[in-house]
Amino acid sequence: MIRYSESFKLQVVREMEEGRHISCYAAQEAYGIRGNGTVHRWAQQYGREGLIRRLIRVETPEDRNELQRLKERVRELERALGDATLDLRLEREYVKIACRQAGIEDVDAFKKKAHGKLST
């Protein structure tokens, strides 16, 4: 078992904090440290709070407003999609009823035939 001094551990963590090593794995490779979780453990123990796996998000008021605007737009689009889906279902049922009343049995064939006759 290899034991590392406190000063060595602190040096490795400091170098990570300064950006010399972009990950625990990079620091581990740079110094030939064998333990897979060793450097990660050192970073948690000796490093600044939040060095490992913590994301800091800085938002401006404009970012928050944009986020709210986009959320509202998504809600509007979801409502519009729901309305369009309902309209399409109703239209399909009306066509079926009309075909039945006209004595047309094959609705799909009727729609294909009628589609070819439509002018644009």
Residue 75 and residue 37 share a domain: no
Instruction: State which residues form the domain around 20.
Output: 6-46
Residue 65 and residue 104 share a domain: yes
**Res 55: pLDDT:** 47
Nearest-angstrom CA–CA distance, 25 and 56: 21
Residue 41 and residue 16 share a domain: yes
Question: What is the reported pTM?
Answer: 0.42
Sign of CA dihedral 88, 94, 96, 102: negative
Nearest-angstrom CA–CA distance, 94 and 114: 15
Query: Could you report the per-residue pLDDT of 17-66, keeping only the tens digit for each?
Result: 888 877 888 888 999 998 888 988 888 888 875 455 444 566 788 888 89
Domain count, the chain: 2
Residue 67 and residue 113 share a domain: yes
Nearest-angstrom CA–CA distance, 116 and 33: 74
Residue 36 and residue 67 share a domain: no
Q: Return the C-alpha torsion angle 12, 18, 20, 24, nearest 10.
A: 50
